[in-house]
Amino acid sequence: MARIFIGVGSNSDREKHIRSGVRALGEAFHNLRISTIYENEAVGFSGDNFYNFVVGCDAGLEVEEVVSRLHRIEDEHGRDRSQPRFSSRTLDLDLLLYDDLVIDTGSLHLPRPDINEYAYVLCPLAEIAPELRHPVSRKTYATLWSEFDRAGQDLRPVELNVELGIKI
């Protein structure tokens, strides 16, 4: 069983898609651990603010199957793949980590580079896995977060409960 971490985001009917997305992740994977949800401005385009957080969970699937399952969940939530990379999302599920696997196939990058680039990815990851080490730098996520340049990347915690009995 692999330990995986998934970046979750939405800026379109956010509460509905976050709640439904967490339920779908709970059905697909095991032992979900959910970070605080953070609100932040859209990055790379003008749009509504996003809700972003990280889910850690166990998966009994190969990495390609995990990515396929995440895409299926996004599609079930109305994901429009014809849109540019930086655009509004009903539900965005990004595989950040799959155990300590390091992959760069062109379409799949693990660990996902967003970890080192965006506060809305690194902060919640450091919250739920502070002592876990980045597979390349070998620094803990707590250390990476303490060293991160947060200028221009404001995060605001959001209180939102989901129906799985998990407070996020």
pLDDT of residue 168: 38
pLDDT of residue 163: 54
Please list the alpha-helical segments (H only) found in the chain. Answer: 14-28, 63-76, 114-117, 119-128, 141-147
CA-CA distance, 90 to 99, in Å (whole number)?
27
Q: Are 42 and 99 in contact (CB under 8 A)?
A: no
Q: Is the pTM of this model over 0.85?
A: yes
Structure tokens at 93: 């599920």
pLDDT of residue 84: 75
Question: Which residues 6+ apart lie within 8 Å of 146 measured at CB?
Answer: none
For residue range 103-139, what is the model confidence (pLDDT) as tens digits? 999 889 999 999 999 999 999 999 999 999 999 999 9
pLDDT of residue 162: 63
pLDDT of residue 128: 97
Nearest in space to 21 (alpha carbons), one of 65, 61, 69: 69
CA-CA distance, 61 to 153, in Å (whole number)?
34
Q: Are 96 and 114 in contact (CB under 8 A)?
A: yes
pLDDT of residue 167: 39
pLDDT of residue 46: 85
Residues with pLDDT less than 50, the chain: 164-168
CA-CA distance, 151 to 157, in Å (whole number)?
17
